[in-house]
Chains A and B, each alone.
Chain A
Amino acid sequence: MSLEAKTEQQIVIKQSISHPKESKLKDFLSILMLNKAAMVGGIIILFYIFIALFAPLLAPFDPYEIKLENKLLPPSADHWMGTDDKGRDILSRILYGSRLSMGVGFAAVSFGSFFGIIFGLVAGYYGKWVDSIIMRAMDVMLAFPGILLALAIISALGPGLMNVTIAVGAFSVPLFARIVRGSTLEVKRLEYIDAIRSLGANDMTIIFKHIFPNILSPIIVQGTLRLATAILSAAGLSFLGLGAQPPSPEWGTMLSNGRDFLFSAPYIALFPGLAISILVLGFNIFGDGLRDAFDPRMKK
């Protein structure tokens, strides 16, 4: 290695020692910016968040107001996406619905990740019988196909958006637990954890202050991709009549209503479905991009 290259490397090392977090963040953001697809995904998500926040200002009509004289109007200059069987403006309902659909998605993933992270950290850190018990329980939860575990939970708790959030969150728990456990196992073997332990740090400090911040990358990637699944599952459950109930403008509920008018007014089902698809696409693209950005092999 030439002297110049060596000096340059030393500078980089020194910089990363003095500002490790900033340089990591910069590094990550620059890679993320280079990933065009991830940027598109990020923009889509930001667009939906904007819509959810400013729905009352953006919606041209009251999403709940019934005007039977306006029922089943096709898309026009007044009603860009038409009206439903009760004369309600579909665009306004979709704008307001973004709050519900995204809210359920975020709440379910937060719930699932919270418990999944705790189980994963404890299993990975303590190992032995603690690990065996927790991970076998997670295996059992993973043995339920698709949304069937969520359906079983809803059958017991009853239909409703809150119960859907719990049910969808519950079937995310084992996925987070597995990923966190794997990452914890890797990090806890590192020398600096031994060093911290020899300095007298207790288990809680090691787990939450030293291991957890170092395993955030896979959690964030998994969280973003799970958001897509959670939004889809929650909308699916509402479509079946087990989540949000009419007259709620939740997208799955709107789609379910649109099914009854598929022959005469297909746009009632078309637009809520498009709204779900584009949002889920955004999270999927962004999740893929995040995975690439966090993957050290991509940093060449």
Chain B
Amino acid sequence: MLMFIFRRLIQTIPVVIGVTFVVFFIMQLVPGDPAVLLAGEGASKETIAGIREQLGLNRPLFVQYFDYLINIFQGDFGLSLKNSQPVLDEILVRLPITMELAFFSIIITIVLGMAAGIISAIKPYSLTDTSVMLVALFGISLPSFWFGLMLMYFFSVKLQILPVAGWDSILHVILPALTLGAGGAAIVARMTRSSMLEVIRQDYIRTARAKGLRERVIVYKHALRNALIPVITVVGLQFGALLGGTVLVESIFAINGLGRMIVDAIRMRDLPMVQGGVLFASMIFVIVNLFVDVFYRFFNKRIELN
């Protein structure tokens, strides 16, 4: 197991470097001279040349990239073009909010998704199964930004039981987390159902039935345990979609998280902030994937041993 974790860690290094490479080179696609952009309109040639010298823009692109890489590993993500504050400081203020939102959303994704999947799988091809799967299909197709607005209209405007926007109390968390978690729950429900159905057809489940075990024991103790293994991978992937989704949900509910920071930075052409935000979110996703892989292996191993 330790060897597996070590090997998986080694595999992660090129991906991390690759992500920094992509983020750095995407920013080179910006039309025009970054020094002119930084200096602002009407700046003198001397000022522009000074900025170019100061930022090392005169040097070859690959040298600039290696500098960028070294700076990142030292925790230096550059300065915001908007307020000249370190990008990392802003990220560290916003990140806990986004992680909190992601945490509650993934709980909704897992609990709602698995419950729906199990209900469907227990009575396959029944009316309940069809209805649950139809709702799941709708869930996958709903745009989160529309679903969020509709939830806001219904619960905040019409019923007035939940706050419209902000991030001050647990009540503020409910609608954004539901908006973000619902799509993932639909995918997890479909995956849980198909995985459960596959397991239920196995010989050992038939044997358990033949032994006279109660259906509840068969479903929860024997089938679910094995069926959950592929679901773990889906949950891991959903975390990535969820991190991306925070961009939209935070904008709808006026939450000052990392996602909203990136969108605001794009609007203000604050490229170091965009670069830092995207890089940070991607790193979190890489780390989560690493954990999911280890978790998956751990479960698989235990089952093999048993």
Shortest B224–chain A CB gap in Å is 24
Residues 258-286 (chain A) with a chain B CB within 8 angstroms: 258-259, 262-263, 266, 269-270, 272-273, 276-278, 280-281, 284-285
Q: How far is the CB of B23 from chain A (nearest CB, A)?
A: 6
Specify the chain B residue showing the minimal Cβ separation from A235: B143
Alpha-carbon distance between A145 and B106 when the two chains are bound, in angstroms: 14
Alpha-carbon distance A128/B263, docked complex (angstroms):
40
Select one of A139, A144, A242, A272 contacting B266, CB under 8 A. A242
Shortest beta-carbon distance from B248 to chain A in Å: 5
By secondary structure, the A interface counts as: helix
Q: Which of A139, A155, A269 contacts B149 (CB 8 A)?
A: A269
Contact pattern, B 9-33, Cβ under 8 Å of A = 1, otherwise 0 = 0000011001101110011111100
**Which of chain A's residues 227-257 have a Cβ closer than 8 Å to chain B?**
228, 232, 235-236, 239-242, 252, 255
* Complex alpha-carbon distance, A263 and B143, angstroms: 20
Interface residues of B in 129-171 (CB under 8 A from A): 137-138, 140-147, 149-150, 152-153, 157
A162: B residues at CB distance < 8 A = none
Residues of B within 8 A of A263 (CB): 157
Query: Which residues of chain A are near B122, meaning CB under 8 Å?
Result: none
Asked if A152 is at the interface (CB within 8 A of a chain B CB), the reply is: yes
The chain A residue sitting closest to B190, CB to CB, is: A288
Answer yes or no: B286 CB below 8 A from chain A CBs. yes
* Cα separation A86 to B252 with both chains bound (whole Å): 22
In the complex, which residue of chain B has the Cβ closest to the Cβ of A273? Answer: B146
Within 8 A of A (CB), among B260-306: 262-263, 265-267, 269, 271, 274-275, 278, 281-282, 284-286, 289
A236→B241 CA distance, assembly (Å): 13
**A11 located at the interface, meaning its Cβ lies under 8 Å from any Cβ of chain B in the complex:** no
Tell whether A255 pairs with B285 under 8 Å between CB atoms, given A139-B15, A240-B248.
no
Taking the nearest CB of chain A, how far is it from the CB of B7, in angstroms?
Answer: 15
Q: A136-B18, A277-B143, A281-B138 are in contact. Are A143 and B26 (CB under 8 A)?
A: no
Q: Is the CB of A270 within 8 A of B281?
A: no
A139: nearest chain-B partner, CB-CB: B15
CB contacts under 8 Å to B, within A100-152, are 136-137, 139-141, 143-149, 151-152
**Known pairs A152-B274, A239-B248; A273 contacts B150 (CB<8 A):** yes
Q: Is the CB of A145 within 8 A of B143?
A: no
Question: Is B26 in contact with A152, judged by CB distance below 8 angstroms?
Answer: yes
| Shortest beta-carbon distance from A94 to chain B in Å | 13
Whether B188 sits at the interface, judged by CB under 8 Å, is no
A148: which of B28, B262, B286 is its contact (CB, 8 Å)? Answer: B262
The answer to whether A270 and B150 touch (CB under 8 A), given A136-B14, A151-B262, A239-B145, is: yes
Partner of A143 from B27, B239, B286 at Cβ < 8 Å:
B286
Complex interface: chain A residues within 8 A of B275 (CB): 152
Whether B14 and A259, one on each chain, are in contact in the complex, defined by CB atoms closer than 8 angstroms, is no
Of the candidates A140, A252, A276, the one whose C-beta lies within 8 Å of that of B19 is A140
CB distance from A108 to the nearest CB of B (A): 16
Contact partner of A255 (CB less than 8 A), chosen from B14, B149, B247, is B149
Verify B267–A147 contact, CB threshold 8 A. no
**B143 adjacent to A273 (CB under 8 Å):** yes
Q: In the docked arrangement, what's the CA distance between A239 and B23, Å? A: 24
Beta-carbon contact of B248 and A236 below 8 Å? yes
Known: A240-B251, A240-B263. Is A146-B240 also a contact (CB below 8 A)?
yes
Residue of B14, B141, B145, B278 near A152 (CB, 8 A) is B278
CB-contact partner of A155 in B138, B150, B248, B271, under 8 A: B271
Q: Would you call A154 an interface residue if the criterion is a C-beta within 8 Å of the partner chain's C-beta atoms?
A: yes
- Interface positions, chain B 212-255, Cβ under 8 Å from A, are 239-245, 247-248, 251-252
Q: Is there contact, CB below 8 Å, between B19 and A148?
A: no
A157 interface residue (CB < 8 Å to B): yes
User: Which residue of A151, A232, A262 contacts B278 across the interface (Cβ within 8 Å)?
Assistant: A151
Total count of chain A residues near the partner, CB < 8 A: 48
Q: Contact at A143–B285, with CB atoms within 8 Å?
A: yes
| Assembly CA distance A280 to B144 (angstroms) | 12
Residues of A within 8 A of B244 (CB): 145-148
Which residue in chain B gives the minimum CB-CB distance to A170?
Answer: B26
Complex interface: chain A residues within 8 A of B263 (CB): 151, 240, 242
The answer to whether B243 and A145 have CB atoms under 8 Å apart is: yes
Verify B143–A276 contact, CB threshold 8 A: yes
* Complex alpha-carbon distance, A136 and B19, angstroms: 11
Q: Are B149 and A280 in contact (CB under 8 A)?
A: no
Please report the C-alpha to C-alpha distance between residue A25 and residue B267 in the assembled complex, in whole angstroms.
Answer: 49
Report Cα–Cα, A104/B18, bound state, in Å: 28
* One of B31, B142, B267 near A241 (C-beta < 8 A): B267
Please give the distance in Å from B85's CB to the nearest CB on chain A: 19
Expressed in whole angstroms, the minimum distance between the Cβ of B137 and any Cβ of chain A is 6
A158 located at the interface, meaning its Cβ lies under 8 Å from any Cβ of chain B in the complex: yes
Q: Lowest 3 CB-CB distances: which A-B pairs, in order? A: A146-B244, A273-B146, A140-B18
Complex A-B: 15 CB contacts under 8 Å: A140-B15, A140-B19, A148-B281, A149-B278, A152-B23, A152-B26, A153-B26, A155-B26, A155-B265, A158-B31, A236-B248, A240-B248, A262-B157, A276-B143, A277-B138
A-to-B contact residues, CB < 8 Å: 136-137, 139-141, 143-149, 151-159, 228, 232, 235-236, 239-242, 252, 255, 258-259, 262-263, 266, 269-270, 272-273, 276-278, 280-281, 284-285, 288
User: Assuming A156-B27, A277-B141, A280-B142, what are 6 further A-B pairs, CB within 8 angstroms?
Assistant: A148-B247, A159-B266, A232-B143, A255-B146, A273-B149, A276-B146
